[in-house]
Amino acid sequence: MLRPNDKKSGILKEMEQPAGFLELHHTADWEIAAWAPDLPTLFEQAAIGMYALSGTHLYPDPRITRTLELSAVDAESLLVKFLNELLFIGEQYGLAFDGFELQITGGNLSARLHGAPMTEQSKEIKAVTYHKLAIQPGPRGLEVRIVFDV
């Protein structure tokens, strides 16, 4: 926080320059780390983590099954498409998923998603971002960090 007596120091002094930029810290985004022994399980854990962040809860019934086919140029783009599609389905139809049968071959994902209507979602996630996104091998198989725009 800036106080009136800070006018010639720090941030305000930099802002007086005719051109430039200033990196500002913000807490608007959320981030998770996910890990799994293989790519389909990594996508599943990412989806579960996303739902946990948003405080999503499902009705016990009626249960529904949806199929989904996606393709992308690489695994990271496919992950973003997958998670954004789950967000879209939640926003448009009020559905979320807690069961995943995923097959990933190259840049193609084939999914059977099992879920139900949402009873609540306490926090809204606007989108999945590419910020810091890199699926990499790690000690537990594959790892990824995902930043969500909220």
The residues that bridge with 113 in the sheet, in sequence order, are 66, 100
pLDDT in tens, 27-48: 667 888 888 999 999 999 999 9
Q: For 116, how many CA atoms within 13 A lie in the half-sphere containing its CB?
A: 12
For residue 2, pLDDT over 70 is answered with: no
The domain total for the chain is 1
Domain that holds residue 39: 28-149
Report d(CA 99, CA 51) in Å as an integer: 12
Write down the pLDDT at residue 5.
43
Tell me how far apart the alpha carbons of residues 99 and 121 are, in angstroms, rounded to a whole number. Answer: 18
> Domain for residue 114, yes or no?
yes
Q: Is residue 23 part of a domain?
A: no
**For the domain that residue 132 is a member of, what is the CATH number?**
3.55.10.10
Verdict on whether the full-model pTM lies above 0.95: no
What stretch of H or E contains 93? helix 75-93
Dihedral of alpha carbons 130, 114, 143, 73, sign:
negative
